[in-house]
């Protein structure tokens, strides 16, 4: 997906159709720009924590409840995924959203996975953060702030 400057749109505190969403990165994360990626944005820290942002079409205007539940059902059906939190949140730009948190067991590694979902016009916007538990736990508040900075 193409990323285009959205400065004017930010000033209006809204995202116009055709403009990709964006989010603030936590400190010490490096943007990994990969063409033809499914993600609008993806960044990594030195100790293996990843944050990402993606948006998907919502032409039939599914509600926030619908998408939050569909995402939760999809992930909890997978082996190793355990839902630990399901909280209503509000983004920095005032959009209602849902923040889901999971513990994920991958072989011998305990992982943490956070996912925030928002609706923006005709898009479902999903912000994700994940990494080894011992790398995520110390910066969990910063990751939460980053996920809620979606605009």
Partner 1 sequence: MLFTVAAIACPACVAFQADVDAEAALGPVTATVADAAELLKPFTEDEPRFVAIDPRKVIYTASLQIAAPDVDAAVTRTARLAESAGGYVQQMTNDAIVIRVPADAFGHTLTALADIGTIVTREITARDVTEEYTDLQIRLTSAKALLVRLQNLLEKASDVKQALEIEREMARVQAEIEKLQGSLNSLSSRINYATFTIRFLPVRRIPQTMRLQLPFWWLSRLGLENLMTF
Structure-block tokens of residue 45: 């820290």
Site string for partner 1, 1-40 (x = CB under 8 A): -------------------------------x-x---x--
119 binds partner 1 (CB under 8 A): no
Give least dist CB 10 to partner 1, A. Answer: 26
Residue 86 to residue 24: CA distance in whole angstroms: 22
- C-alpha 120, offset from chain centre: 13
Q: Is 140 exposed, middle or buried (0-12, 13-18, 19+ CB in 10 A)?
A: middle
Task: Specify the stretch interacting with partner 1 by CB under 8 A; choose among 11-19, 88-96, 107-115, 137-145.
Answer: 107-115
* Secondary structure (H, E, C), 120-151: ECCEEEEEEEEEEHHHHHHHHHHHHHHHCCCC
Helix (H) or strand (E) segment spanning residue 106: strand 96-106
Contact with partner 1 (CB under 8 A) among 75, 89, 133, 135? 75
Task: Specify the stretch interacting with partner 1 by CB under 8 A; choose among 10-18, 22-30, 89-97, 126-134.
Answer: 126-134
Q: With respect to partner 1, which residue has the nearer C-beta, 13 or 28?
A: 28
Contact with partner 1 (CB under 8 A) among 97, 113, 136, 139? 113
Structure-block tokens of residue 41: 């944005």
* Secondary structure (H, E, C), 19-37: CCCCCCCCCCEEECCCCCC
Kindly list the residues in this chain that would bind partner 1 in the complex (CB under 8 A). 32, 34, 38, 42, 48, 50, 52, 54, 56, 70-71, 73-75, 77-78, 81, 104, 106, 111, 113, 115, 126, 128, 130-131
């Amino acid at each position: 997906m193409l990323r285009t400057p959205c400065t004017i749109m930010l000033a209006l505190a809204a995202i116009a159709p055709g403009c990709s969403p964006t989010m603030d990165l936590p400190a010490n994360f490096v943007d990994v720009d990969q063409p033809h990626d499914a993600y609008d944005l993806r960044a990594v820290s030195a100790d293996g924590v990843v944050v990402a942002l993606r948006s998907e079409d919502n032409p039939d205007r599914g509600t926030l409840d619908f998408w939050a539940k569909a995402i939760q059902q999809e992930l909890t059906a997978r082996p190793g995924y355990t839902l630990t939190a399901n909280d209503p949140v509000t983004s920095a730009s005032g959009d209602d959203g849902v923040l889901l948190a999971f513990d994920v067991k991958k072989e011998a590694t305990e992982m943490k996975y956070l996912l925030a979902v928002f609706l923006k016009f005709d898009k479902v916007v999903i912000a994700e953060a994940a990494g080894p538990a011992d790398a995520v736990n110390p910066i969990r508040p910063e990751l939460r702030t980053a996920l809620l900075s979606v605009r």
